[in-house]
């Protein structure tokens, strides 16, 4: 995991973005702190999570140096503006909206723009996206699709999202993805549901160690 990804205001050295959709507000702060403490670098809270903006606004001052709290499922410019106002350190979209990318560049907030086809991926990169989120990657063949895209687009940092798990994350990185986005399975689904922070920490560490071992 030694290869870093440079973004406008973000240096991503750990190639995982943990994605939280529907997380409870009273649990998020503790979850964020313990995950950052054991090595996670970037957490994304989706905009369509109840209270998402308040969570980010409340927890943003607690984000340690070198860690990043962002917002995802940013589908349009209005949502991008709301996320920025809440203090999001990066924005992630499920779709390609050039206005969101332009807004992020103007605000010096990295945008990881969602795209799927080769045409969309190149358009997102040409518009100034910091990285391009290939979504839903699993439905398109998984790591093989990333490998195929890397042929013509070796200069574009791709983030594989959709169907990524502890079992296949290393394969996505080996195929050429610069990072992966993982949902609640990253934290251990049962541990997450029980709000068992000790078990969550173990799952996060194991996930990151597995990636580190595969990279080494």
Q: Rounded to whole angstroms, what are the CA distances from 166 to 33, 41, 77, 210? A: 21, 17, 33, 8
Please tell me the pTM assigned to this model.
0.94
- Would you give per-residue pLDDT tens digits along the chain (216 residues)? 445 565 655 788 899 999 999 999 999 999 999 999 999 999 999 999 999 999 999 999 999 999 999 999 999 999 999 999 999 999 999 999 999 999 999 999 999 999 999 999 999 999 999 999 999 999 999 999 999 999 999 999 999 999 999 999 999 999 999 999 999 999 999 999 999 999 999 999 999 998 887 655
Domain of residue 30 covers 5-215
Q: How many domains does the chain have?
A: 1
Catalytic residue (choose from 3, 6, 24, 44): 44
**44 in active site:** yes
Choosing from 79, 120, 133, 209, the catalytic residue is 133
What CATH number corresponds to the domain at position 24? 3.20.20.70
In whole angstroms, give the CA distance from residue 133 to residue 66. 21
Please choose, from the candidates 167, 179, 177, 146, the residue with its C-alpha nearest in 3D space to the C-alpha of residue 42: 179
| 133 among known catalytic residues | yes
């Amino acid at each position: 995991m030694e290869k870093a990804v440079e973004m406008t205001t973000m240096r991503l050295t750990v190639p995982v973005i943990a994605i939280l959709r529907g997380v409870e507000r009273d649990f998020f702060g503790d979850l964020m702190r313990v995950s950052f403490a054991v090595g996670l670098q970037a957490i994304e809270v989706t905009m369509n999570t109840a209270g998402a903006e308040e969570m980010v606004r409340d927890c943003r001052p607690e984000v340690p140096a070198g860690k990043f709290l962002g917002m995802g499922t940013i589908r349009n410019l209005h949502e991008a503006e709301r996320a920025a106002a809440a203090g999001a350190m990066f924005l992630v979209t499920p779709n390609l909206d050039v206005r969101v990318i332009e807004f992020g560049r103007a605000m010096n907030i990295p945008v990881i723009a969602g795209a799927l086809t080769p045409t969309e991926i190149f358009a997102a990169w040409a518009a100034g996206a910091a990285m391009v989120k290939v979504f839903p990657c699993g439905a398109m063949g998984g790591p093989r699709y990333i490998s195929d895209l890397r042929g013509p687009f070796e200069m574009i940092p791709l983030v594989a999202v959709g169907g990524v798990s502890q079992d296949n994350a290393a394969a996505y990185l080996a195929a050429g993805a610069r990072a992966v986005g993982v949902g609640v399975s990253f934290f251990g689904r049962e541990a997450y549901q029980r709000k068992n922070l000790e078990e969550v920490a173990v799952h996060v560490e194991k996930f990151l160690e597995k990636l580190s071992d595969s990279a080494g």
